[in-house]
Amino acid sequence: MKVTDTSDLWWKSAIVYCLDVETFMDWNNDGTGDFTGLAHRIDYLNELGVTCLWLMPFYPTPDRDDGYDITDFYSVDPRLGHLGDLVETIRLAKDRGMRVIADLVINHTSDQHPWFISARSSRNSPYRDYYVWRDEPPATQGEPVFPDQETSNWELDPKTGQYYQHVFYKHQPDLNVTNPVVRDEIAKVIGFWLELGLSGFRVDAVPFLLETTGVVGGKDAFPDPHDYLRALRAFLGRRSGDGMLLGEVNLPRAEQALYFGGAEGDELTMQFDFISMQKMYLSLARADAAPLIDALQSRPIGSPDSQWANFVRNHDELTLDKLTDSERAEVFAAFGPEERMQVFGRGLVRRLPPMLDGDPRRVRMVYSLLFSLPGTPVLFYGEEIGMGENLEEKGRLAVRTPMQWNDGKNGGFSLAPKSKLCAGVVEGGFGPAHVNVRSQRRDHDSLLGFIQTLIRHYRDAPEFGWGAFKVLEQPDPAVLAHMLSLEDGRVVAVHNFSSEPTEVRFSVPAPRGATHLDDLFTGEPLPLTKTGRADVPLDGYGYRWLRVENGPDPHRY
């Protein structure tokens, strides 16, 4: 099969792995993970098949929002190490063919950042216009992002007698991106980290970054906020050549198309597909593939260089805000019926295996789906072994628990006393005694071994990252059958959302002379009729990846 040159668009077929240095591996046993610990686990990530490592915020912080409240954009939190440790980690990753990206948090700072300390000291401060100030809050404003913590997006600063805007927490004042000096500062931050070896950024809360309605005269000063996003992408391209911007954009489809830059594809390189993720959970709850099919078919068509990032769960709450109230209630009832499992009235603070009662068939079907959907798969640390959550931790922190390396003290994350740990270790059936890396590395039938197999086949089939997507018509409502086509290559993926076994009949639009389907996992050939029809048996929660073959391919192994 002829394969398109992918060197400049590496993100189209990457395996992205997100981790928080703080909770991944503690090498000096002070209770907090560090870059030295991560460096000692780079070979594990390489063995897993990771090609792009995404680091959550590692910058100096008062740590009131798990590192997203930043006091210095140019350094490393001393609890995690120093710049030399970070550079060594990047070097080790690159030596193993891994790129590294990091969170770019530029819509706000900590209220302890030197810029804001100066800005609130006087209305005449040179940093005053780095932030958004008003004499009175606007008559109408959006709902707070964290309604359990904040009642307004504006906070009165007693010393200067004005209100500052904070879309998130009051200790995170919003930066004023309509100020060209602020935009220059952001460019310097991007340039700095590119020089240290990063290959791009996961851009936090992109719509809030471009929101200027709270700024007095903002629309006049910043008539098209998307011009700024285009400028960021162009700057990244000039500095790095093949840098990537992965955006957090949880918006309706039409607006997502805008954030890609439409047909030109000159804004975000990638976006998380929040809508398909939410509809996937609705499909799981209903044992009906239709909601996910609708979501996938609603993806806007833009530049062929743009890419969707698919995920099962991330570091935040598992948001269900794009579902209707009744749909959300269905998912809550199926996967998070207790109040402590829910947050903000819109999401869940659970990981996948506990939501599915640990059913290995269902868990594996979901991860097979993740890697076979059109786009780039993103894993959150611990997913590859089936970690659970710790509901004793508050809100979103329930899933930000220490990595489980073995069945020893603190799951092998740290030898520090339990009271010194940065977060509570998962307990119960999904804790380290039952779920850990060491035991699963010794068991080829483990979830870890299965994820490695998925990654190996994903990397051997460029259709998944690059191919044209088509849903294949078939009669079973519980089944998603789809095909991805790239040049003369065709791969079909079939997934059963029901516990009942079934046989799926569909027709494959295939090149002339196609003779059979080759099961990528088992090697079993399945015949195709002359018209391209196939009959594929599926177990309950079954899944199959099938390559359309014209005969033996001497280039495959």
Q: For 38-66, b where at least 16 C-beta lie within 10 A, e where not — what string?
A: bbebbebbbebbbbbbbbbbbbbbebebb
Question: How many angstroms separate the CA atoms of 8 and 16, rounded?
Answer: 17
Please answer whether residues 38 and 21 qualify as being in contact, where contact means their C-beta atoms are separated by less than 8 angstroms.
yes
Distance (Å, whole) CA 205 – CA 337: 28
Helices (H) and strands (E) in the chain, counts: 18, 22
Task: Please confirm, yes or no, whether 204 is among the known catalytic residues.
Answer: yes
- 65 and 113 in contact (C-beta within 8 Å)? no
Which one of the listed residues 22, 26, 248, 518 is annotated catalytic? 248
Nearest to 287 by CA among 25, 10, 541, 31: 541
Q: Where are the alpha helices (H) located in 197-289, listed in sequence order? A: 206-210, 218-221, 225-240, 253-260, 274-286
Which residues fall within 8 angstroms of residue 287, CB to CB, at 6 or more apart?
478, 497, 498, 499
The count of other CB atoms within 10 Å of the CB of residue 102 is 21
Sign of the Cα pseudo-torsion (7, 9, 11, 13, in order): negative
Contact between 246 and 271 (Cβ < 8 Å)? yes
- Residue 460 is among the residues annotated as catalytic for this protein: no
User: Which of 34, 69, 204, 389 is an active site residue?
Assistant: 204
Phi, psi of 458 (to 5 degrees): -60, -45
Task: Give catalytic residues, as residue numbers.
Answer: 204, 248
